[in-house]
A and B are shown apart, each in its own frame.
Chain A
Amino acid sequence: MSAVKTERAAKRREPLTNTSLLMLISVCIFFFMYAAAIIFMGDSGFTKPQMFFDLLNDNAYLIIIACSLTIVMIGGGINISVGGVIGLTVMACALFLNGNGIENSFLSILLTLLLALGIGLAFGVGQGFLVSYLDIQPFIVTLAGMFLSRGLTTILSVNPVKVTHAGFLELVKTKIKIPWLGYTAQNGNLIPAKLEIGAVVALCVVVLMYVLLRYMRLGRHIYALGGNQQSALMLGINVRRARFSSYVISGVLSGLAGFIFLMHKPTGNASVAMRSEMDAIAASIIGGTLLTGGVGNVIGTFFGVMILATIQKIIGLSPLKESYWQDMTSGAMLGFFILLQSVVLSSRGKKMKLPDWMKIGAPKKTA
């Protein structure tokens, strides 16, 4: 049994070195950054585990959509409608919770969750069909998806909708308390560390997607498809179905992310998760996913989200409070990671493969 395992491990290490290397870089940078924050800004709360949990709580939805984007990007596509789908889901769920009139609050919440997943599924199926079976460029299809979801959100309601459903608000308040990671307040009370349900769900999604991509047939097909579509086709992989599935998964995950968002902030608003698709793409890239497809890992994506969140937290707590400093620093950080990846990959003599819709021809060999 163990011999088989080691043999498998040895086999695995070979083809995925780029993925692991890029992921390793981002993991190291995250720990380095967090350690630096603890050392230099310890007073502002970085020494407490609660800070880490807060990062998770606030960015649970981002972790989920970043994972969904990672899967699509590994398959060589892109999905920029995730932010819009979150906005639509949040609005639809808020309206449904307020207006469904179902007595049983458990049933009502369950139906809301199903509604959220259904919206995501609908977008995933529609976009997946257009991209994989009609061969339309994914950027345009998902751009239309973004327009459609944002437009539908404002058609549902232009004004913010506050959730008044008692059962759901109870769920929002429910937090998982971890006493041994808490801290003692000045008055001597022990304040336990709190983790929201959404954060746990997000972590589960990361693990599930990791398993899917690493150990399941569909996941391997998506990698093959992104690495080289022609070869995948010749190996007998149903390329269209794999691509279609990647968009469906992405859609369902963005619906789920919308529900998690509502659990974090129970208000529907037309500007919810605005531009979060770009944050998710940035997180995936920082985590080592290549837009070219075939390379990437959801664990890296998770750390990508955490890096972005930590940067924002550090700048928010530092004297540079203005929002433009936040944007500029995260932009600079993104630039740094992109350059780092480019240098690392080209120094390994690895040729980047581009998906069909953004081909630039054979890359020049580096001297």
Chain B
Amino acid sequence: MKQKRKAFSGIGQLIIPLVALSLLILFNLFRDPGFFSIGVAVNSSGNKVLSGNLISVIDSASELAIISMGMTLVTAACGGQDISVGAVGSIAGAVFVKVLLGASSINGGIVVLGIIACCLATIAFKLFNGALVAVFRIQPMIATLILYSCGRSIAYWISGSATPQLNSPIISAMGMTIPGIPVPTPIFAVILVGLLLALLFKLTNTSLYTQTVGINQGAARLNGINPILIKLLSFVILGVCVAVAAVIGVCRMGNLSHKTLLVDIEMDAILAVAIGGNNLGGGKFRISGSILGAYIIQMLTTTLYAMNVPPVNVKAYKAVVIVIIVVAGSPVVKSKVTAMWNRLRSGGSTAAVQKGVRG
């Protein structure tokens, strides 16, 4: 029984995002039954690719999903959010493009080198953030405000003035589809990052330690966990996530514009973490919730586009849906709903009902 409840309580936080996602899907099915139809189209380079709204949602949420995975860890360990991911992503893109354009021709080796350089750059910047948070004990939002305000300028400074173009089949294969495989490549990147994180959690105690540090830093230290190391590790993982997302972003566009690469993704990533039912105050976390959150946000955006809402106005409708989701997930509303549920079922055995609802 105890085991069952434990397994149940983990899923509990996913109820609201799952309900939100299903409502969105149902809404779309009623609005336009063909919304989720998947077809096969031939893209500009002559490859057969899958097309359809569903594929486009999953594809374009890739960057957000990857970054929200890293953001979940930072949130859990530090109890705050990193608002500089978009700006650091822009720096990462600049480094990537710089390495690729420095070579005489773009081949596989140079791309790998570029990705490594890009990862190193983001890790360095994230370690700067991490050091401010972990060692100097500055609140994450304030510490990352520094790079938030000047990161894009650094990217501009690295890349030079113009928006550099990247024209290569490798780049378009990485950003769109590999010839012969009909599924967009970014989806594989999400799966890869997700698998690596899952492996990390399965093989090491990182997940447990991160939650411990997030819940009570002092207690974690007394139990022999070094909170500084754990926090730095969460920032390093976020750094790698940002680098991957930036490479996808650059490859998708085929060029680098330091002002628009991953713009405002920090806000969406934090939203994804919150919609996924994670506590923004740190502690327990569930990466699957954040990934779900990322897809909800993208699904919402795509739905609004499909309803012919102009892109600049999407934010307003998004805000309304977000408020509905967070209100539904707020502790006050939850307890009210629980109480009401109990009153409705007061004839039956209240204790059992309580357990069920809590689960």
* With A147-B318, A342-B138, A354-B139: A361-B330 Cβ-Cβ less than 8 Å: no
B185 near A: Cβ within 8 Å? no
A331 near B: Cβ within 8 Å? yes
Interface flags, B116-157, vs A, CB<8A=1, else 0: 000000000000000010001111111101111110111011
CB contact list, B28-75 vs A, under 8 A: none
The stretch that binds A, out of B12-20, B104-112, B209-217, B244-252, is B209-217
A363 touches B316 (CB 8 A): no
Q: How far is the CA of A54 from the CA of B267 in the complex (A)?
A: 33
A150 touches B152 (CB 8 A): no
CB contact list, A143-161 vs B, under 8 A: 143-148, 150-152, 154-155, 158
A364 touches B149 (CB 8 A): no
A270 near B: Cβ within 8 Å? yes
B315 near A: Cβ within 8 Å? yes
Q: How far is the CA of A361 from the CA of B139 in the complex (A)?
A: 12
A282 touches B145 (CB 8 A): yes
B282 touches A151 (CB 8 A): no
- Chain A residues near B1: list those with CB within 8 A: none
Count contacts on B: residues with CB < 8 A to the other chain.
Answer: 59
B327 touches A358 (CB 8 A): no
Q: How far is the CA of A155 from the CA of B216 in the complex (A)?
A: 45
The residue on A at minimum CB distance from B139 is A291
A228 near B: Cβ within 8 Å? no
A210 near B: Cβ within 8 Å? no
Contacting B78 at CB < 8 Å: which of A150, A281, A360? Answer: A360
Q: How far is the CB of B160 from chain A (nearest CB, A)?
A: 11
A140 touches B150 (CB 8 A): no
Q: How far is the CA of A282 from the CA of B141 in the complex (A)?
A: 11
CB contact list, A295-351 vs B, under 8 A: 323-328, 330-332, 334-335, 338-339, 342-343, 346
Q: How far is the CA of A246 from the CA of B156 in the complex (A)?
A: 39
B79 near A: Cβ within 8 Å? yes
* With A291-B141, A328-B157: A364-B221 Cβ-Cβ less than 8 Å: yes
B207 near A: Cβ within 8 Å? no
A358 touches B139 (CB 8 A): yes
A278 near B: Cβ within 8 Å? yes
- Chain A residues near B330: list those with CB within 8 A: 130, 134-136
The residue on A at minimum CB distance from B216 is A361
The residue on A at minimum CB distance from B314 is A151
The residue on A at minimum CB distance from B312 is A154
B333 near A: Cβ within 8 Å? yes
B217 touches A154 (CB 8 A): no
Q: Interface centre among B132, B150, B156, B218, by most A CB within 10 Å? A: B150
The residue on B at minimum CB distance from A291 is B139
- Chain A residues near B214: list those with CB within 8 A: 360-361
B203 near A: Cβ within 8 Å? no
B7 near A: Cβ within 8 Å? no
B265 near A: Cβ within 8 Å? no
Interface flags, A229-259, vs B, CB<8A=1, else 0: 0000000000000000000000000000000
* With A358-B282, A360-B78: A145-B145 Cβ-Cβ less than 8 Å: no
B316 touches A155 (CB 8 A): yes
B320 near A: Cβ within 8 Å? yes
Interface flags, B205-241, vs A, CB<8A=1, else 0: 0000000011111111100000100000000000000
Q: How far is the CB of A145 from chain B (nearest CB, A)?
A: 7
Q: How far is the CA of A335 from the CA of B136 in the complex (A)?
A: 12
B79 touches A359 (CB 8 A): yes
* With A134-B330, A136-B326, A282-B145: A148-B274 Cβ-Cβ less than 8 Å: no
- Chain B residues near A145: list those with CB within 8 A: 319
B317 near A: Cβ within 8 Å? yes
- Chain A residues near B78: list those with CB within 8 A: 360
Q: Interface centre among A151, A328, A354, by most B CB within 10 Å? A: A151
Q: How far is the CB of B235 from chain A (nearest CB, A)?
A: 14
A332 touches B150 (CB 8 A): yes
B162 near A: Cβ within 8 Å? no
Please classify the interface of chain B as helix (H, G, I), strand (E, B), loop, or mixed, using the class held by over half of its residues: helix
Q: How far is the CB of A147 from chain B (nearest CB, A)?
A: 4
B150 touches A150 (CB 8 A): no
Q: How far is the CA of A273 from the CA of B320 in the complex (A)?
A: 22
Chain A contact patch, size range = 35 or more
- Chain A residues near B103: list those with CB within 8 A: none
- Chain A residues near B140: list those with CB within 8 A: 358
B347 near A: Cβ within 8 Å? no
The residue on A at minimum CB distance from B227 is A364
* With A134-B330, A338-B138, A361-B217: A148-B320 Cβ-Cβ less than 8 Å: yes
A358 touches B280 (CB 8 A): yes
The residue on A at minimum CB distance from B320 is A148
Contacting A359 at CB < 8 Å: which of B143, B281, B315, B333? Answer: B281
- Chain A residues near B146: list those with CB within 8 A: 331-332, 334-335, 338
* With A151-B316, A338-B132, A358-B280: A331-B137 Cβ-Cβ less than 8 Å: no
A285 near B: Cβ within 8 Å? yes
The residue on B at minimum CB distance from A279 is B149
CB contact list, A186-244 vs B, under 8 A: none
A270 touches B312 (CB 8 A): yes
- Chain A residues near B156: list those with CB within 8 A: 324
Q: How far is the CA of A327 from the CA of B319 in the complex (A)?
A: 29
Q: Interface centre among A155, A285, A328, A358, by most B CB within 10 Å? A: A358
B292 near A: Cβ within 8 Å? no
A136 touches B322 (CB 8 A): no
A31 near B: Cβ within 8 Å? no
B281 touches A328 (CB 8 A): no
- Chain B residues near A57: list those with CB within 8 A: none
B348 near A: Cβ within 8 Å? no
B332 near A: Cβ within 8 Å? yes
Q: How far is the CB of A53 from chain B (nearest CB, A)?
A: 26
Contacting A151 at CB < 8 Å: which of B138, B216, B319, B333? Answer: B319
* With A140-B270, A360-B282: A151-B221 Cβ-Cβ less than 8 Å: no
Q: How far is the CA of A129 from the CA of B235 in the complex (A)?
A: 34
- Chain A residues near B137: list those with CB within 8 A: 342, 346, 352, 360, 363-364
A130 touches B327 (CB 8 A): yes
* With A134-B327, A338-B132, A361-B218: A324-B153 Cβ-Cβ less than 8 Å: yes
The residue on A at minimum CB distance from B323 is A144
Q: How far is the CB of B297 from chain A (nearest CB, A)?
A: 11
Q: How far is the CB of A177 from chain B (nearest CB, A)?
A: 36
Interface flags, B256-296, vs A, CB<8A=1, else 0: 00000000000100110010000011100000000000000
Q: List 6 A-B contacts (CB under 8 A).
A: A130-B323, A135-B332, A158-B312, A339-B132, A358-B141, A361-B216
